[in-house]
Structure 1
Amino acid sequence: MKGERIYVEHPRDCSARMNALHHIYFDIAQDEYVNCLNVEATDTSGMHEGEKSELYRKATEHGIKAIVFSSMCVESAINNYAGTQLGDKYAQQHLDKLNVQSKWVVIPKLVCGRSIDKSGPAFNALGKLIKARNELVHNKSKELNPANPNLKTILEKSDQDFKIGFESSLKALYLLRMEMDYVLGQTHNPIGTMDPAFTWIDIPDQVKGIYDKCKALVLKKYS
């Protein structure tokens, strides 16, 4: 993120591959994150309850898409990296059944002896993202008792849990893209560098604050 080239030797410097969709998933996730923020920023002062409810539903829809496509992005990226550097057959036979977090630890270690810091902000955000993704993909409804005196607290906690997952989605993508520059170098960053010295990036105004905070965290960690 400082504009300085970091090179880590890999078995392969380039390859031709098909169906590598992580860059598209990233764009969709970022767009949906911004869409959610835009809906949440809507002035509801003149709306009736039905309109507010519909707005809440739309925000939730965008939030779900941001979480799901963020998780698809991180899994697609590390799978592509494994196939590129270790071979598709090896990756499928020996690595395919690892959970996503484990893949981000194990696969770079196998490739070049380096790995993500499990105590760092990127790995932490990744864990929250995967937890949120699993709760959505393996969704289970729960019985609700309207007479429960703790009903308000229960509903507020549910909203807060979703908010944590949503906020972790884009944060995980930014932090992984930034931290992996230092771990594996810009050339072999599985999810793609965000260093403007090596690529063109377009950060929407609505999420520049998140981007700047993530950048500050990573620069502090590797200063």
Structure 2
Amino acid sequence: MANSCITEYKEQHVYTHEDGISSAECAKRYSEWAQAGKYEEHLSEEYYQGPIIAADTLAKLFPEPATRANVRVLDVAAGTGLVAERLKPRGFSNIDALEPSEGMLALALAKDLYVSSFTDLLGDQPTSIRTDTYDAAVISGGMGEGHIPCSGMKELLRVVKPGGYVVVVMRQQYLSIVPEYIDRLEPLMKKLEQQGKWEAVSRTVVPRYSFTNDGVVFVFKVKASLP
């Protein structure tokens, strides 16, 4: 069963991360994956640690459990709600979802995890979210070919309040194989820090983030919103 699941996941991963895929087509393929009823089987905790890593990171940033219910969180590329499912037991309950795939979001909303939701892509154009809305934004699994572009970092700066946090959990390998990110994503992150927009809190490599692939966790503290 395990070998079959891994094989199916690899095939689906290639399909949703195909070279040159557009964001719109990527979202469509994720909807197909979700509606086939296989997504959560393929990305169970046994194989995919991203949601746990994301939730644990956020819990460390807000160490007082009694105050977490007041922390307003944006779950970016929310998928079927895997991150929110890990945040809830840690005391985070004021969570909104941003997800471009209607099929994925439908499954997430059926779980009653979110206060509000936005069927939108984090990218070049501003979302409908108001400036300085959130205390934290978290991405887990939303980075890759045809996924969130570098420009999405600027939109996160806009919607997260000064003093809030941005957490990005992604496969480390993508920094060196995805054209959108090669020599672009980390330099942009550094540039935004130099401009005084946010402060780098940590950059941590985590083993076996997804199957046997290492991940990297970026944490930034917002200092000033982008106009």
Shorter chain as denominator, the TM-score bin is: under 0.3
User: Between Structure 1 and Structure 2, which shows a larger proportion of helix residues?
Assistant: 1
User: Between Structure 1 and Structure 2, which shows a larger proportion of strand residues?
Assistant: 2
**Larger RCO, structure (CA 8 Å, separation 6 or more):** 1
Which one has a bigger Cα radius of gyration? 1
Alignment TM-score, normalising by the size of structure 2? 0.27
